[in-house]
Amino acid sequence: MRGIVEQINISPGGVPKLPVAEAFVSTQGIRGDSWAHPHVHGGPLQALLLISTGDLDQLIADGFPVFPGALGENLTISGIDFRALRARQRWRVGPVVLELTKLRVPCRTLDRYNTNGQRIQEQLYDAQAKAGDSTTPRWARGGFYASVLREGIIRAKDIIELSDYAV
């Protein structure tokens, strides 16, 4: 599997996160990025959040006012079917090596994107995803967290590719 990092996003805390052309990625996340609720977000097992452009496109088609960075993701990625993502997969982005850790469970912070009586959280995550059932169309739609195994600089338009699975 292989895709492209369409956008790298950071913020001083909260959403949306805004684009930067390049960033240094450490085991704690992207330099210059922070979280509004660090007791819940961040840390080495949630250093980065990845979201698919395809999933954002579907949310937009469904009437939600989202855009790259809106959902708080650090990396907005195209070309990868997120339904194929699994914890313990290792991905290479330039010199950086990531290991997927867990699905993102969307919180109330995303309420700002609710529209026409629809809650965006219900479009991003469901009981099947919570149970670990990757056959749900909502699998990884809200994103996947990753830890950073090898630090380095990443740039928008870098290739992201599956390298292996942790043993």
Phi and psi at residue 120, to the nearest 5° = -65, -30
Report whether pLDDT(41) > 80: no
pLDDT digits (tens, 9 = 90+) for 73-92: 999 999 999 999 999 999 99
pLDDT computed for residue 38 by the predictor = 59
Average pLDDT over residues 142-154: 97
CATH number assigned to the domain comprising residue 100: 2.40.33.20
Domain that holds residue 101: 2-165
Q: Which of 73, 12, 52 is nearest to 137 (CA)?
A: 52
Give dist(CA 80, CA 70) in Å, integer.
Answer: 19
Please state, rounded to an integer, the average pLDDT across all residues of the chain. Answer: 94
Residue 141 has what pLDDT? Answer: 97
Res 137: pLDDT: 95
The reported pLDDT for the residue numbered 167 is: 60
Mean pLDDT, rounded, for 145-157:
98
Average pLDDT over residues 104-115: 94
- HSE-CB at 22 with a 13 A cutoff on CA atoms is 9
Count of domains in the chain? Answer: 1
Rounded to 5°, the CA angle 141-30-138 comes to: 5
- What integer pLDDT is reported at residue 50 of this predicted model? 98
Q: Which tens digit of pLDDT belongs to each residue from 17-36?
A: 999 999 999 999 999 998 66
